[in-house]
Amino acid sequence: MDVREQDKIDKLMVQELDGTQNEWGWCKSKLGANAILAVSMAVCRAGAAASEMPLYQYIAKISGHPTDKFVMPVPALNVINGGSHAGNRLACQEFMILPVGASSFKEAMIIGAEVYHTLKTCIKKKYGQDACNVGDEGGFAPNVQDNNEALDVLMDAIKKSGHEGKVKIGTDVAASEFYNAETKLYDMDFKNPDSAPEMKKTAKELMEVYKGWLAQYPFVSIEDPFDQDDWEAYKMCMDEVGKDQQIVGDDLLVTNPNRIKKALEVGACNALLLKVNQIGSITEAIEAATMSQKAGWGVMVSHRSGETEDSFIADLVVGLRTGQIKTGAPCRSERLAKYNQLIRIEEELGPLCSFAGSNFRHP
């Protein structure tokens, strides 16, 4: 087989060599998604080399996107960590900044880094030096008691850095982490064994909390606002705020084309979080992204909390023209590897690329 036959090689591995299936499709339980993906990514890189193209251009070619004009993504930089990623009391797993007002990817990274370091100063002053320790993805994990307090500190940093108006906010709530399937309640103080009854919210009450945030802070994106199987709550969320907000499915969709189909039928969200090692092959990742883009959804390419210094997803986000990438704070080498590769790609492309900016959902 020729290395340029990405779909055939992936199909051979997934459907013939592995061949295992469950209710959501090919589950790769024989060879494992990590092993299949490693080969799939190697084949993609080899295909690019054989075609004498940069990796991002080759990905654009095999996914049916233009190969002469490209869009650089808006980075969603995770600057405050909570939830299961940190030892503080925050229920939300991530608060992110999106420098949509920048004119280029390079400027977006400058703005992001300036806000990040200003945030460090604000946190150190308010909570002490210990609070400047970073979480899995490079964000700070100060001992804040609630989400509004974290958002206030973040807004203070955005103002003090001089970038107010250019920077929007996103969050990954990761609500499945604090949902109780028996009581059907969301515990906003789930890391406290003596959590007060008023901290346990129904889906409707939690929706009111989100609406309060949207009224007070410049939000543009909310990821996993409800439990991964709470389809009704997602539909309610879309009906109430989906017109103005990006509602991203991560735990809800797990980059799976069958779950994306269900979400489209239900009207559960309007954006996909694309994680290549969730689905396990480049061909299936392209299929998931294409299906979402054709439906008018946004697509945010994402890292994982446990990462390596591989920068494949930087080329992927440019090749698939998704307009947005989430790969941690401007800190820790395994996060910066992706951002540095994107800066290199932008320099290489010059006038052949534009920056997604405020059109990051539909570049």
* Residues labelled catalytic: 137, 275
DSSP string, 162-173: T-TTT-EEEEE-
Question: φ, ψ for residue 118 (rounded to 5)?
Answer: -65, -40
Tokens of residue 307, six digits: 């990462």
CB 292 within 8 A of CB 262: no
- How many beta carbons lie within 10 A of that of residue 50, not counting itself? 12
- How many beta carbons lie within 10 A of that of residue 258, not counting itself? 15
What residues contact residue 232 under an 8 Å CB cut-off, 6+ apart?
203
DSSP string, 47-75: HHHHTT--HHHHHHHHTT--SS-EEEPEE
Tokens of residue 84, six digits: 């299961």
Supply angle C-alpha 101, 102, 106, rounded to 5: 160
- How many beta carbons lie within 10 A of that of residue 2, not counting itself? 11
Give the whole-angstrom CA distance, residue 176 versus residue 224.
8
Instruction: State the burial class of residue 127 (Cβ atoms within 10 Å of its Cβ: 0-12, 13-18, 19+).
Output: middle
Phi-psi region of 262 (alpha: psi -120 to 50; beta: other; left: phi over 0): alpha
Give the whole-angstrom CA distance, residue 173 versus residue 153.
18
If you ran DSSP here, which 8-state letter would residue 100 be given? T
Give the whole-angstrom CA distance, residue 305 versus residue 111.
23
Q: What type of residue is 216?
A: Q
